[in-house]
Amino acid sequence: MFRTRRDVPLDRDAAGRFLPWIIAFMVYLAVLATAAALTVSSLTSAWDNEVAGTMTVQVPPRAARQAAPAGAAGADAGLQAVLEVLRKTPGVASAVPLGPVDIERLLGPWLGPGGASADLPLPRLVDIVLDPSAPLDRPGLSKRLAEIAPGATIEDHRVWLRDLLVFARSVEVLSVAIVLLVAAVGIATVVYATRAGFAIHRGTVELLHMIGAQDAYIAAQFQWHAFRLGARGALVGITFAGATLGLLAHLAGQVESALLPRMGMGIGELLVLAVVPIGATLVTMYTARLAVVRSLAEMV
């Protein structure tokens, strides 16, 4: 496919031996960093979807049992009053108290089966789903809840999600930084290797010049040589990276956790990963070309 004239015997240079390995290593790092960024961003958007538009109201046990000021009766009078207030509040789509079964499921792992029995003074929890079309007056709601159920708190899931998002964003920024750093080191290495190759073959290049070769004719030989080396390295790098990601996905599949939903990559993510080795090859090729053209321009 890429048959070019090979008047400059670049194939025998030392660069042919070390450059593909360096490029392979860089592609490996860049693919893993990119995969990390993609995974984290798909995880956070999954969390965000689950958590967005929900809150939890926590009612202390004493406030839940107390009789409401309005005189409503029953063991859960306080809780009922809270529910009533919540359901009347604009912006709240639904308010559902967690029953004993839910509590048992939540606390079972810590207290053991049957540990979360009714006589334990546990706070009561109310799941709230927000109505995205109506704004919620949060301070107003807090004030009213404090009047009818002292000590009741509203927990916005976004608060802890916010910390998680900050973490996720940091991972993304770090990944991009790694990719950029790897690219910069890679470009510097290619420039260095090309310059070295140019110096080794300076006599041949001068001869080609003197018999009337255009700069482009000479640059093409360095360029396609770099392309071959880059493609070889990128292929090795993506192969090892693919194996590593496959292994990680396998390990993740064995972790039973709600925190790791769908670790698998979609087509879009795989395409983004494929850009890394292709980009590395093209960057190698054009970097070599630029380095040679600049060196040639310094000649007579």
Partner 1 sequence: MVVRFENVGMRYGNGPEVLRDVTFTLDPGSFHFLTGPSGAGKTSLLRLMYLAQRPSRGLINLFGRDIATTPRRDLPALRRRIGVVFQDFRLLDHLSALDNVALPLRVAGVPESQIRTHVGELLDWVGLSGHLGARPATLSGGQQQRVAIARAVIGRPRLLLADEPTGNVDNAIAMRLLYLFEELNRMGTCVVIATHNESVIAKFDYPVLRLEGGELTVQRAFRPAGPDRGGERNWERPHDRAT
- How near is the Cβ of 210 to partner 1 at its closest, in Å? 6
Under 8 Å between Cβ of 234 and 24: yes
- How near is the Cβ of 23 to partner 1 at its closest, in Å? 25
- How near is the Cβ of 2 to partner 1 at its closest, in Å? 17
298 binds partner 1 (CB under 8 A): no
Stretch that binds partner 1, among 54-62, 143-151, 171-179, 207-215 (CB under 8 A): 207-215
Residue 120, classified by CB atoms within 10 Å of its CB into exposed (0-12), middle (13-18) or buried (19+), is exposed
Site string for partner 1, 5-34 (x = CB under 8 A): x-x-x-------------------------
Q: How many CA atoms lie within 13 Å of 139's alpha carbon, on the beta-carbon side? A: 0
- How near is the Cβ of 208 to partner 1 at its closest, in Å? 6
What are the residues facing 126 on neighbouring strands? 57, 97
The DSSP 8-state label assigned to residue 11 in this structure reads G
Site string for partner 1, 210-249 (x = CB under 8 A): xxxxxx-x--------------------------------
Phi, psi of 28 (to 5 degrees): -55, -55
Q: Residue count at the site for partner 1 (CB under 8 A)?
A: 18
**Buried-exposed string 81-100: b where 16+ CB fall within 10 A, e elsewhere:** bbbebbeebeebeebebbee
Among 204, 220, 279, 290, binds partner 1 (CB under 8 A): 204
Token couple for 293: 């053209």
Please give the residue ranges that form the binding site for partner 1 (CB under 8 A). 5, 7, 9, 203-204, 206-215, 217, 297, 300
